[in-house]
Amino acid sequence: MSTFSAPALVATGLLLAAPCVHAQAAEPTPKPASEPASEPASEPPRAAEPPVIHISEEGFTLSSSDKAFVLKLRGQLQGDGRFYFEDTDRTGTNTFLIRRMRPILDGTLFGFIDFRFMPDFGVGQSVIQDAFIDFRPGEWVRLRAGRFKTPFGLELLQSDMDNPFIERSLTVDLVPNRDEGLELHGEGEGGRWQYSLAAVNGDPDGASTDANPDDSFDLVARVFALPFKGREPSFLQGLGLGLAVTRGLQFGNTTNTGLAPWRSPGQEIIFSYLNNAGTGETVTAHGQHLRITPQGHFYWGHFGLLAEYVRSSQEVRIADARARLHHHAWQTSVSWVFGGKASFEGARPTTPFNPKTLEGGALEVAARYHALDVDDATFPRFANPAQSVSEARGFGVATTFAFNRRVRFALNFHRTNYVGGAPDGGDRLPENVLLSRFQLTF
């Protein structure tokens, strides 16, 4: 059976109708004078333009011809390995795992409303990481609503797909992660300055929340500038400096304390507040929580540098005891890319890897030193010194081979030294961990 497309049928109909129209024109029929003139023939409706389908390393995109409606399907898969050395206390478990498995759905509606939905099925869990909409009347002002990254920590705002290290630094223990709320944000002068103002439920340090445990909200403000972007001197175009602050009142209870444990680069718990609902010895957030972080990065050619300092000041309570605790963390990391360019958006190979010639790709080598200091007033009333460390100092090295912008293989080694946290009252043994990752994104 033959198959005809819609355009072919329309064309055939027009050809068949053409002789009839000509005959009527050759021998017109006279009309009575009283008969009104006939209405001019209406033009046939224009066929709707077909949608545009585009497939590339950026994902699968379906859009209208004018780009007013866009649907983009992307994804992220990270297969990790963790291997601990000199771990006589067996605090870490050697394992392979799916660290992140995220389908990502991005889109645009009516040309000025963007949205994202990103669940995560990694580490044997099912959580929603991002779910928000952006009302976008212009680049200089956007209104975001839903669940998103709190605009605060620099390293956390860098996508984990682009970070040269497999796990983030100790600074994230004091940084809010994802939260629900509203965010007014934007940029100007081609991205030379950026700002964010947000009202969110309020995360504990180093964690995300799904709901507000009290009636209070956190206010977040962040400014970041790349003053030389697109200007001379060219070697300063990758210089970025910023400052972020959060402030709010947080009140926990024995069910939801408003506090979270902190983890090492090997993802082992190294600090937690006292939590024993049976005896009533449970520490809860109780009062003002203030954070501040100066931050910056510098990228020039093959070289990259990122640094930030975080200070978290929080009021806590246990029974009748109350205190304001001040915790600090900082990190500095440097990187060099062979065969490509360094950037905040990750290493960019000059040419993609060619499996036939074994040429192309880029090798990124990075080193990081980071630290976490817990307020001395935390012990022993609010945390057990035989279980939680009071200080952590770590050094890490990373190598990442980027086959292209979407496929990477990485190896990291991290050593972290501790003060306190041992059952005998001494220092917890250092953590030595080798991390591996094979990553695919599209």
Query: pLDDT value at position 89?
Result: 76
| pLDDT tens track for 25-58 | 334 444 444 444 445 555 666 666 788 898 888 7
**CATH architecture classification, 50-441:** Beta Barrel (2.40)
Per-residue DSSP letters for 320-377? TEEEEEEEEEEEEEEEEEETEE--TT--EESS--BTTTTB--EEEEEEEEEEEE--GG
Task: Name the pairing type of β-strands 348-349 and 362-373.
Answer: unpaired
Indicate the pTM of the whole model. 0.87
DSSP state for residue 123 in the 8-state scheme: G
- Which tokens sit at 134? 């952006």
Based on the number of CB atoms within 10 Å of its own CB, is 278 exposed (0-12), middle (13-18) or buried (19 or more)?
exposed
Contact 110, 68 (CB under 8 A): yes
Distance CA 248, CA 260 (A): 17
Mean pLDDT of the chain: 89
Nearest alpha carbon to residue 200 among 137, 268, 250: 250
Is residue 400's pLDDT more than 90? yes
Q: 225-234 long-range contacts, Cβ below 8 Å, gap at least 24?
A: 225/192, 225/193, 225/194, 226/191, 226/192, 226/193, 227/192, 229/190, 229/191, 229/192, 230/190, 230/192
Q: What percent of the chain has pLDDT over 90?
A: 78
- Which tokens sit at 307? 């640094």
Longest dimension (CA), the chain: 115
Domain ranges of the chain: 50-441
| pLDDT tens track for 133-178 | 999 998 899 999 999 999 999 999 999 999 999 999 999 999 999 9
What are the CA-CA distances from residue 147 to residues 59, 198, 253, 313 (Å)?
Answer: 23, 12, 23, 24
